[in-house]
Structure 1
Amino acid sequence: MKGKASMFGVLLVGLGLSGPAMAQSAPLGCSAAREARAFESGLQSGKSLVQQAWNSVASCGNLERFSSVVMETLQNVSLPPGSDDYVVCRTVGTLAGAVEQVDEVWGLCAIECCEEGELVGWIMGKLYCDLSICLGGVRLTNFLVQRPMGFCGSTAQACCRSEFSSVTPSYQGLFGSCRPYTQGMFRATWSQSRDSVCAYRQ
């Protein structure tokens, strides 16, 4: 990203949410009862991680540290190869919850659309890579989530796509590299995934 500070370069007066939120639906691969519970548990965990990061800083003058805590925390969310669908769905839910919280915060701030897109692109790029490495590139679309960004429009979408395109080829997780899943036989899936996760409500 252009810099950790720019990701949250907005004046936050708090992280409380107001107004009705758009419910996040479980992806197809998490539709069975057990996996749906795992997804929902992860969703709440991901939202909580953003809240905890803010609580640890609690200062609008220290947003660089806040963004660092968020990034460091999400970097620790891993998905080992061979994980069963329950573990996959919980991990997917965690990153989806983080994105949901980010979008709700940006709706309150009402500025910095490109920065929201970049952050969403980074989180969803990580999700794409973790899923690809774990599943060997198969069944990927069964687990990708799409929660269109609510406040920001085409600017956020363009910045999200740009960040996704930058992060994924260079992503090196605990269990391997993402580069093979961005080219060759996986290129079409990669492109489709980028466009899907970077959508916005029109």
Structure 2
Amino acid sequence: MRREASMFGVLMALLGLSGNAAAQEVPLGCSAPRDTRAFEAGLLSGRSLVQQAWNSVASCGNLERFSSVVMETLQNVTLPPGSDDYVVCRTVGTLVGAVEQVDETWTLCAIACCDEGELVGWIMGKLYCDLSIALGGVRLTNFLVQRPMGFCGATAQACCRDTFQSVTPAYQGLFGSCRPYTQGRFRATWTQSRNSVCSYRQ
């Protein structure tokens, strides 16, 4: 029970992270010193992976390729069922760091807001599914706190939600399918998660 509660805290805090503040905030489930170090190491790793993807493209005219490289890279980030808090925190940190760096990279171009929303929706949809599959279902209705993310406005929000909504039911990871966690008794949690991870700073 304590482990499940701590994992709820991980995703709750993750969904509440926003822009530059994310680097200073550690999820509740990662508050133990060892787990905090794992989360912070994950942040650096995720940022580095996205920066490497950008370095391979380095052109605002080729954002579609940039998104493809990011997704191909993050497909290799997995979360096996039964993972301990250290592994979960490292994984969460990696994907949060990736989103942070995507947002910062997009500001260099100041265009294609829908493309950014789609990429963020894909990353956060993957994380929702990986955590749901690993933990046997994420129940956050009474815990979710909305804080806006930093990407570019209502267009990005709409595209993020559309992508999250299409990616998660079809997601088939190494350890199972996400579809059961998008319907039935998980539907409210899924809807709340979609709305929260795709909110934006006005």
TM-score tier, shorter chain, comes to 0.7 to 0.9
Q: Which runs of 5+ in 1 are unaligned?
A: 1-20
Q: Which runs of 5+ in 2 are unaligned?
A: 1-18
Maintained 8 Å contact 2:139/2:186: no
TM-score (norm 2): 0.81
Percent identity, please.
85
**2:14 alignment counterpart:** none
- CA separation in 1, counterparts of 2:144 and 2:91? 11
2:21 aligned with 1:23, yes or no?
yes
Q: What is the DSSP-based 3-state SS (H/G/I as helix, E as strand, rest coil) of the residue aligned with 1:180? A: helix
Structure number with higher helix proportion: 2
Greater alpha carbon shift after TM alignment, 109-118 vs 137-146: 137-146
2:79 aligned with 1:79, yes or no?
yes
Aligned length: 182
- CA separation in 1, counterparts of 2:34 and 2:64? 38
**1:190 alignment counterpart:** 190
Q: Which amino acid aligns with 1:43?
A: L
- Offset at residue 153 of structure 1 (A): 1.1
- Offset at residue 88 of structure 1 (A): 0.4
- Offset at residue 62 of structure 1 (A): 5.5
2:165 aligned with 1:165, yes or no?
yes
- Offset at residue 160 of structure 1 (A): 0.7
**2:88 alignment counterpart:** 88
- Offset at residue 142 of structure 1 (A): 11
- Offset at residue 50 of structure 1 (A): 0.9
- Offset at residue 199 of structure 1 (A): 1.2
**2:105 alignment counterpart:** 105
RMSD (CA atoms): 2.4
Greater alpha carbon shift after TM alignment, 149-158 vs 161-170: 149-158
- Offset at residue 141 of structure 1 (A): 8.1
Greater alpha carbon shift after TM alignment, 67-76 vs 91-100: 67-76
Structure 1 segment 92-171 matched on structure 2, within 5 A: 92-138=92-138, 148-171=148-171
The change in CA–CA distance for 1:143 and 1:40 in structure 2 (over 3 A counts) is: farther
Maintained 8 Å contact 1:114/1:159: yes
Structure 1 segment 48-63 matched on structure 2, within 5 A: 48-58=48-58, 63=63
Greater alpha carbon shift after TM alignment, 87-96 vs 140-149: 140-149
Q: What is the DSSP-based 3-state SS (H/G/I as helix, E as strand, rest coil) of the residue aligned with 2:169? A: helix
Greater alpha carbon shift after TM alignment, 30-39 vs 162-171: 30-39
- CA separation in 2, counterparts of 1:47 and 1:103? 10
The change in CA–CA distance for 1:45 and 1:54 in structure 2 (over 3 A counts) is: same
- CA separation in 2, counterparts of 1:62 and 1:107? 14
Maintained 8 Å contact 2:139/2:189: no
**2:175 alignment counterpart:** 175
Greater alpha carbon shift after TM alignment, 62-71 vs 118-127: 62-71
Q: Which amino acid aligns with 1:130?
A: D
- CA separation in 2, counterparts of 1:42 and 1:141? 26
The change in CA–CA distance for 1:184 and 1:158 in structure 2 (over 3 A counts) is: same
